[in-house]
Amino acid sequence: MFEAGSGTADITQFTKGIGMMGYGMHFNIVEEIETPLSARAFVIRDSETKKKIVFVNAEIAFITIAIKKEVVKRLHANYPHFGYTDENVILTAQHTHSAPGGYSHYPFYNFSIPGFVPAVFEKITGGIIEAIKHAESDIKPAALYLNTGAFEADQEVAFNRSLPAYNANPEVQKVAEGKTHLAVDREMTLLRIDSPDGIQRAMINWFGVHTTSIPNTNKKICYDNKGYAASYFEKHIRNTTGLNGFTAAFAQGVSGDVSPNFIWDSKKKVMRGKYADPFESARFNGNLQYLKALEIYETALKQSPLKGEIDHVLMYVDFSSVQPDKEFTNGQEVYTGPACHGIAFFRGTAEGPGMPPALGSVALFLSRTVKKYELLRARFASAKERNNIHTKYRIQGKKDIMLEAGAGKILGTSNMSRLIVPSIADKSIATVKKQYKNGSLRTPWIPHVLPLQLIIIGELAIAGFPGEITTVAGKRLKETLLSVLGKRGIKKVVISSYANAYCGYVTTYEEYQCQLYEGGHTVYGEWTLAAFQTAFKKLALQLLEKPENRETETGAKPDEFTEEELMKRSYQS
């Protein structure tokens, strides 16, 4: 039998003038509050073994390694009786792009903020712990119901924003322009939590669609479409049952190439949602998610309650040096490498444009010039340097490299004082140069070592994914996991994105060759998905072993940052 508890806490930090996280644009700053932001926590425990997990969904862009580490550290120090460790705590985000940034210890994610913002980090961390405390105090016997449902084709909820890449996959039925709603996973998975006597307690659902109904010109803190969906659902339960403590989380699924925006705004030159007013579009999309969740929630009682165990495993993997299994590489011997971001990433998407087209063309020319120069230089370099150069370009494939987060280079330059791009071109460049000058900009600029996590709740497996994965890549990863976990009775695998850390995107090999936005942000090379499949399969196999026989220690550890260097990279008002 299961026990469960849920709780909510505020994580809204209003620091006027700081950047929001998601679009990476220096003008996308905090000036007002449209809606508050929350963290929702759900504790689920096996009443017999007392083994438990806590699932948290926060209304921010993504979870960082620093947040996860600090939450676990404080729980262990201040609430040791809760029994939480890195392994049984899963922190996720619903990915709003309209929440404050500055909460990563890695410098790249703070360049546009600009800098690390201690107040934001503290508010998010403290709020998550507060939500977990509320959930702990709410633990009671529970009946869990798992159910799924799909959005009808005419519901304007989700659209593939990178159709040429999607169509490059050999297993898909090609989708025509104007039918991009057919190039996404339209299924929603929902976990309903009741008391054994039928009192409604809580709900978590997973559906993949970007929380970007609100554009990068916004200056108001807002939880966007998924936040509105959660608010509508909780209000509905409150109004129909009188229950004030009901908690509803609209978590992310496979959403890497999935957008809520489907109308081209010829005046603003961006894709937008249903309405010209972005907040109205966010409410419209959130309402669609709410109504579908309510439908699945109400029919969930037709399913048998979940039975089985609570289980969990976690493993750290260094994705800068993975040799994927050949079953995922068509028999080829390949590798991943240190993180590199492509020109396609910096150009942005139709819903969140990046650098201007003219600047993008210049950057592309410079990137290709740097590549030619480095390959020429390799002819006269030492054997080690020659190998490093050739290996980098082989691993990154068709990507036109602009930024090497692993090596700390921009357009081939490691000395930021000599960077050809002037500070006046972008405030983020000014931040890079300032941090380089004060000695706080050390590599890597984004994480190479990532946590992979699997949570078992009866017949449901939740994969904590430290980034965002595209529709077909997600389908392949689910199939990989189910092929293993089906052997222990798992019937459904959910990929819960933006969990525990963030590394960017993961596309299929075929999508990567197109080098659209998502491929430009698949940082460890063209075989990144194969590396994730390899590592997640290895982790899943451990769940077939008895806990005492599991081998999840890899020796890989996330980077540590000193208080001194963080302060040198902190936001200055």
Question: Quick one: tokens of 179?
Answer: 């039918």
One-letter amino acid of 544 = L
For residue 233, the number of C-alpha atoms closer than 13 Å in the C-beta half-sphere is 31
Region of residue 105 (left: phi > 0; alpha: psi -120 to 50; beta: else): alpha
Question: Quick one: tokens of 66?
Answer: 């620093």
Q: Which residue has the tokens 């809204």?
A: 12
Say which DSSP state 490 is in: -
Closest CA to 215 of 352, 59, 420: 352
Question: Quick one: tokens of 75?
Answer: 């729980």
Q: Output the CA torsion 411→416→420→421 (10° steps).
A: 90
- The beta-carbon contacts of 123-127 under 8 Å, at least 24 apart in sequence, are 123/11, 123/12, 123/13, 124/11, 124/13, 124/39, 124/58, 124/60, 124/67, 125/67, 125/70, 125/71, 125/74, 127/9, 127/10, 127/11, 127/38, 127/39, 127/58
Catalytic-residue membership of 259: yes
Say which DSSP state 19 is in: B
Contacts of 79 (CB under 8 A, 6+ apart): 133, 136
Q: 184, 196 in Cβ contact below 8 A? A: no
Rounded to whole angstroms, how far apart are CA atoms 166 and 178? 14
State the first-to-last Cα distance of the chain, in angstroms, to the nearest integer.
Answer: 52
Query: Which residue in 38, 259, 281, 440 is the catalytic one?
Result: 259
Instruction: List active site positions.
Output: 259
